[in-house]
Structure 1
């Protein structure tokens, strides 16, 4: 891993364990970062980046991606590979920072994302995006945030967000983890006046948007049964839900596999885009065929330690639910 990090430009800047996934050779070409560090409100944690296809014509669908990190860590710069992956499939993609625990607890991080969505509503057309074709996506704690924004209208209403949410793609997310058994969630949610109201599984209505829920079958942080229970409740309310269970993978692998370096491990990006297409991302009517790339015969030296890095990333998380 250290050999990979040594290849990165700007050695004076802080290094991140996610850096190898954001090497130029490990990201999708034909894409551009068209917005860098744009302020959507005052404060250092209130900035966002925008990614788009280099070749742009008609306004493109928009994905607002929320990264995870147990609500107490994470940086938008760690997920450049996600922004470029979605941009390579024709989406204008927004990744926003939000305040973290202990600076805020629930619902502060949700309020920040709602505020960032107001920026998207007001400004994304200037970057080639169509605000009427908005999808939310997220991983881990970010999957929780994305689902909550879609299920609890009070957050968007507070910031005057009226854009329709056409669908939500959630990876490795916790949706049903009350009572709060672990310190990480107890610190984040324990002071909520209505703790059961913090749980997405309790907020589903027949008007909830379609959802794509994906998880690794061996995730020790948020067990796959969490996704199963949430999906069952969605279906019981008549909400469209697509589930994908990636056999033998853990907590970080689904989001890592969105990037070009690990995409051959599972078709999560193609599955997600296929879901978005089903619900109006590209109104041409042409079906999107999800195809998993073949495994490379020989991994480039720059990505050889990926297995080690993913294992270390998984070890950084504490369990969220039993």
Structure 2
């Protein structure tokens, strides 16, 4: 069966065989097809509105889409209120990925009362460390300057990333220099969510990390585990216990480092979930397993309920890793 046929089958039947078809597609890396199926099952994009799409840099990958919820009670254009900002950063080994393929994140999160930005960044081989961090910081800087006019509260920003994007999100929250250099007010970041991220990958031992980080003289500086600090914004780490691509030890290592620094964090291992399976839990029909989504929504509600400077008070001190229950 071709990829196109599998996608067609998943879109048409949406039953058991269609689910198998969608699993085949997502295993082949077609996030765009996952998003297309999510859009069909959601009945379109009626629950979200594209507030703006912008280029925040000269490279085509340096673009951002900002979505807000629709409806009389939520749409900032109708209520006159601003909403906490969620900035999602895609994965892809720092070499692939398109933020436009992750609109399912906006469909799932924005209707809960958030403005959701999907941001891209320069990719390898045209870019390497620290370009991904410079671009993430530039996206935050753009939001800080423009989001209020579009319905986003730039004083409450939560960074979320999957895989390589989780590395970007966590590093931007822990190492303030990147956001500060872009004029993004790092203290306005009130939380970070890392989904199956690599946080402690020395020595470099695969072509992806060698290509992206191998040129750095002081490799220790590239590792999130070496940037933990007690006054960091709250951190939520979620990892699939069955992840064979980015092993759970990465989240475990960062959890231990955060606990040792006195930072506020929580870590959850999802049994039976692999690398791709974790991000699939944010799209229909895979959201039937609500563990990851529930953890993220609960975290967002807590850390955005008060100013970013005091968001850490809404979380307990770093605790032992918790198994997430269905």
Q: Identify whether the pair has TM-score above 0.5, normalized to the shorter chain.
A: yes
Check conservation: 2:49, 2:70, Cα contact below 8 A.
no
Match of 1:25 in 2: 40
Q: Distance in 2 between matches of 1:253 and 1:27?
A: 19
Match of 2:256 in 1: 232
Distance 1:177 1:27, change over 3 A: farther
Post-superposition CA distance 1:267-291 (Å, at most 9, x none): 21121010121223479xxx9xxxx
Moved beyond 4 Å, runs of 4+: none
Q: Distance in 2 between matches of 1:44 and 1:6?
A: 30
Match of 1:40 in 2: 56
**Corresponding pairs, count:** 280
TM-score by length of 2: 0.80
- 1:187 paired with 2:202, answer no
Check conservation: 1:62, 1:93, Cα contact below 8 A.
yes
Q: Distance in 1 between matches of 2:151 and 2:29?
A: 30
TM-score by length of 1: 0.81
Deviation at 1:257, TM superposition (A): 0.5
Q: Distance in 2 between matches of 1:43 and 1:188?
A: 18
Superposition RMSD in Å: 2.3
Match of 2:142 in 1: 119
- 1:274 paired with 2:287, answer no
Check conservation: 2:48, 2:106, Cα contact below 8 A.
no
Q: Distance in 1 between matches of 2:189 and 2:137?
A: 12
Larger RCO (CA within 8 A; separation ≥ 6): 1
* Secondary structure, aligned partner of 1:252: helix
Post-superposition CA distance 1:49-82 (Å, at most 9, x none): 1111102222111001000000000001210101
Match of 2:160 in 1: 137
Match of 1:49 in 2: 65
Which one has a larger percent helix, Structure 1 or Structure 2? 2
**Which one of 88, 91, 97 corresponds to residue 74 of structure 1?**
97
Structure 1 unaligned segments of length 5 or more: list them.
Answer: 9-14, 295-322
* Secondary structure, aligned partner of 2:243: coil
